[in-house]
């Protein structure tokens, strides 16, 4: 695998688009790793301190993810170096989408990502810029549909991504009108845990979990894990956290989801960040879900989790380990060699899979069909890894090698 990985990582991206906002200090990049299959896809993120290298690495990660989620296209990513709490954010995003609209029209598809909302920002602002849908470029570049087919499938995308979830099995509160885009990534992260234990022949009920990050991915994953009977024993978020060794009930997790302050944990008796960050890694738990920012998990934290009862890490965050390498550095390799690590390109492929599903002709637009399709794709990916070897270690390496063989000639 090493030679495949070296070739893939060192190959220069096919297209790098650079942008400087004329009205603020914001700067941004679209990196298209390749136009495999005539198009490329990847979300739009914003954070202060983001750089081109980060966007390049995420574009390569997206290319691997598409070997799991489909369609068979290249990987891309958009990144804007700007403080998302700045009141000028809306104007920055509007000018950004206007600048990249030619790419979005012909061969690039995007969506929401870190600090950029899929529905209220990406879909709304690309429409203002003259784009039928943020995935229009994938239609034109990859599917090359006739006009009638394109209109039909974009209609599916428009309706499916923003569909209000009606089935109480898939939402913490039907009355809050959560949409597919709000819940699907966290659902996939939880389903990855479900399928891991099922395929490797273990029972996940009564297992315990710690969640890092309580935004859309972490909170949704926590809700679905609790639904499965898994006890969430700790949550660590940016400003603090909570833990209880006996675990929180489904109703408690539901309330923690519903009572968030925006996308942040809000709970009584919140433990300050420095304290929770010292205590949480030594709890007894079998499942860890990193679902915050990239590159946070240190080797010391991995060591401490190995020292307890940890069995599986389901990666809700992209590139969660604190390594400079795109895919595997020392920390990530160490975790993969000692634990079951379900990689991000499998565990958090939910939104990419929803796009791929809705781009097909004549699919069902029910909650059950959309969510079950994502679950089935994640199960198939994990089954492929198990078929290569039933070892509970090295899952990420086997999964990556399986994907790279499809990408590197």
152-181 residue pLDDT tens: 889 999 899 889 999 999 999 999 999 999
User: Could you give the CA distance from residue 300 to residue 241 in angstroms, rounded to a whole number?
Assistant: 19
Say whether pLDDT at 121 is over 80.
Answer: yes
Q: How confident is the model at residue 2 (pLDDT cuts 50, 70, 90)?
A: confident
Parallel, antiparallel, or unpaired: how do β-strands 271-272 and 287-290 relate? unpaired
Residue 401: pLDDT above 90?
yes
| Segment 256-275, tens digit of pLDDT | 999 999 999 999 999 999 99
> 359, 327 in Cβ contact below 8 A?
no
pLDDT digits over 69-114, tens only?
999 999 999 999 999 999 999 999 999 999 999 999 999 999 999 8
The residue extents of the domains of the chain are 1-162, 174-406
Question: Given this model, what pLDDT does residue 147 score?
Answer: 82
Q: What percent of the chain has pLDDT over 70?
A: 100
CA distance 290 to 292: 6
CATH of domain 1-162: 3.40.50.10860
pLDDT at 145 over 90: no
pLDDT digits 0-9 by tens, 310-363? 999 999 998 899 998 888 899 999 999 999 999 999 999 999 999 999 999 889
Please indicate whether the domains covering 1-162 and 174-406 agree at the CATH topology level: yes
- Is 1 a residue whose pLDDT tops 80? no
Choosing among 3.40.50.740, 3.40.50.10070, 3.40.50.2000, 3.40.50.720, the CATH entry for 174-406 is 3.40.50.720
- Whether the predicted model's global pTM rises above the 0.75 cut: yes
**Residue 185's pLDDT band (boundaries 50, 70, 90)?**
very high
- In sequence order, what are the beta bridge partners of 251? none
Per-residue pLDDT tens over the stretch 25-81: 999 999 999 999 999 999 999 999 999 999 999 999 999 999 999 999 999 999 999
CA distances from 16 to 12, 28, 77, 256, 286 (A): 10, 10, 10, 41, 41
């Amino acid at each position: 695998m090493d030679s495949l990985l070296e070739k893939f990582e060192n190959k220069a991206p096919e297209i790098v688009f650079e942008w400087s906002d004329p009205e603020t200090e914001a700067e941004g990049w679209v990196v298209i790793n390749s136009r495999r299959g005539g198009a490329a896809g990847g979300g739009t993120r914003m954070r202060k301190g983001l750089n081109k290298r980060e966007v390049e690495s995420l574009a390569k990660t997206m290319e691997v993810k598409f070997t799991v989620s489909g369609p068979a296209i290249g990987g891309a990513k958009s990144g804007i170096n700007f403080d998302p709490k700045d009141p000028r954010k809306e104007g920055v995003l509007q000018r950004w989408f206007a600048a990249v609209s030619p790419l979005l029209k012909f061969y690039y598809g995007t969506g929401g990502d870190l600090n950029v909302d899929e529905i209220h920002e990406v879909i709304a602002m690309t429409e203002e810029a003259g784009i039928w849908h943020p995935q229009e470029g994938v239609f034109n570049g990859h599917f090359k549909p006739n006009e009638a087919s394109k209109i039909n499938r974009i209609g599916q995308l428009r309706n499916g991504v923003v569909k209000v979830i009606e089935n109480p099995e898939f939402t913490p509160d039907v009355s809050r009108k959560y949409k597919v885009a709000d819940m699907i990534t966290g659902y996939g992260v939880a389903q990855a845990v479900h399928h891991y234990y099922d395929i490797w022949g273990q029972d996940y009920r009564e297992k315990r979990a710690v969640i890092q990050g309580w935004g859309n991915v972490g909170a949704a994953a926590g809700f679905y894990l609790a639904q499965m009977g898994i006890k969430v024993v700790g949550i660590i978020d940016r400003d603090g956290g909570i833990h209880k060794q006996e675990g929180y009930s489904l109703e408690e997790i539901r309330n923690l989801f519903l009572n968030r302050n925006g996308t942040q944990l809000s709970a009584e008796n919140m433990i300050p960040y420095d304290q929770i960050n010292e205590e949480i890694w030594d709890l007894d738990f079998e499942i860890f879900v990193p679902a915050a920012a990239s590159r946070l998990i240190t080797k010391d934290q991995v060591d401490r989790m190995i020292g307890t009862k940890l069995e599986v890490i389901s990666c809700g965050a992209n590139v969660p380990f604190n390594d400079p390498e795109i895919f595997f550095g020392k920390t990530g390799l160490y975790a993969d060699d000692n634990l079951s690590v379900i990689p991000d390109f499998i565990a958090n492929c939910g939104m990419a899979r929803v796009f791929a599903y809705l781009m097909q002709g004549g699919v069902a637009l029910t909650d059950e069909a959309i969510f079950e399709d994502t679950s089935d794709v994640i199960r198939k990916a994990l089954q492929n890894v198990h078929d290569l070897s039933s070892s509970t270690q090295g899952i990420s390496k086997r999964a990556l090698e399986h994907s790279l063989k499809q990408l590197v000639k």
